[in-house]
Amino acid sequence: MNDHPPTVLITGGAGFIGSNLVMHLLRDTDWHVVNLDALTYAGNLEGWGGFLTHPRHHFVKGNLTDAALLQHLLQSHQPQAVMHLAAESHVDRSIDGPAVFVQTNVCGTAVLLEKCLHYWQNLPAPAKHAFRLLHLSTDEVHGSLGPQDAPFCESTSYAPRSPYSATKAAADHLVRAWHHTYGFPSIVANASNNYGPRQFPEKLIPLAIVKLLQGEPIPLYGDGSQIRDWLHVSDHCHALTKILTHGQTGDTYLIGTGVETTNRSLLLLLCELMDEMRPRRDGLSHAAAISPVSDRPGHDHRYAIDASHLRRSLSWQPRIDLRSGLCETIAWYLSHPGWWQAILGHRYNMERLGTSGSPRAQ
């Protein structure tokens, strides 16, 4: 990328990872950010403080499939990079209604690639050389690991098992096809489960926190033995920034901590921390609220990440351990009750909180 402050177009910049990424870039870099988001149920501009009106932040409400809007944004803002985060991401919702996942994750990505290719092909030589697109995907495209299987790495075969992961896999293939067919300078990043402040309360960690604060049972799929790698969103944002600025176009980077935790162990740790930070009035442990529910259809048992390529090539390391990250996350929800109460009270189908959210994060 150029030495002068670049302009970056971020799709999905009002979602969980997107909003944290926008704030990270505005706080820690001199980059200008054009933020495109459709503001569906999970998009949220509340609680941004000064970041929303920051002089280097330009928000645009719009849909990823709006080709004319994408062309206008590219031509008018002349970004040096695109960070593609916009996606439907909740597994349960993809089971209930897969069509919108195909439309956003597959068709939307195809429209974005088409417009970015045309924009890139017509750039002058120096700008054309500097331009790149970073596509954010998920480790779920690789399917489910057995207990003794090696963690996912960049060469692991694709084996998606839900409508959500299948649409993300399709988007990944499109991004790579544009690189190999047209020489388009793209990079794919596949991340593990994210958590942290501002996460929509359908995902496992914020769902559990909100349930506990309301004195309700915490739903846990099956026996809770599903294994995940939990990545704090702040570490994820640092990784994405490094990949965008120093990653190799045409390459793939897996992002994760390498620490595997069962969903039951995760909830027990979260309840332990809640016991310290917001004890129950009846004196019982919050763990008494954990309530098993029927498992989700086709629930992947284990995800694990080998991020050694990212660590070696770009000198990235996760900085926030799970206990510290959960403490910070709980503290944020404790100090921002209006944020999640407004979501539950006015903008969200409460029935969706009746079962445990998918442990995904976007």
Q: What is the pLDDT of residues 181-221, one digit of tens each?
A: 999 999 999 999 999 999 988 889 999 999 999 999 999 99
Task: For residue 346, name the pLDDT band (cuts at 50, 70, 90).
Answer: low
In this structure, what token pair is assigned to residue 102?
């195909």
- Supply the pLDDT for residue 95: 79
Percentage of the chain with pLDDT > 70?
Answer: 94
Whether 351 is catalytic: no
- Supply the pLDDT for residue 355: 34
Closest CA to 263 of 214, 230, 305: 230
Q: Which of 139, 172, 260, 300 is catalytic?
A: 139
- Supply the pLDDT for residue 204: 93
**Residues 135, 130: Cα–Cα separation, whole Å:** 16
- Supply the pLDDT for residue 1: 54
Contact predicate 64/111, CB 8 Å: yes
Q: Which residues lie closer than 8 Å to 15 by C-beta, 6 or more apart? A: 37, 42, 43, 44, 85, 86, 89, 200, 362
Q: Which of 88, 140, 229, 235 is catalytic?
A: 140
- Supply the pLDDT for residue 285: 97
Q: Which of 164, 195, 221, 253 is catalytic?
A: 164
**Residues 89, 101: Cα–Cα separation, whole Å:** 8
List the end-to-end C-alpha distance of the chain, in Å, as a whole number. Answer: 26
**Residues 166, 92: Cα–Cα separation, whole Å:** 13
Whether the pLDDT of residue 350 is over 60: the answer is no
Closest CA to 187 of 252, 128, 106: 252
Pairing of strands 218-221, 193-195: unpaired
Task: For residue 59, name the pLDDT band (cuts at 50, 70, 90).
Answer: very high
Query: For residue range 261-283, what is the model confidence (pLDDT) as tens digits?
Result: 999 999 999 999 999 999 999 99
In this structure, what token pair is assigned to residue 258?
């390498």
Whether 260 is catalytic: no
Q: Domain spanning 7-198+231-258+302-320: which CATH class is it, in words?
A: alpha beta
Whether 164 is catalytic: yes
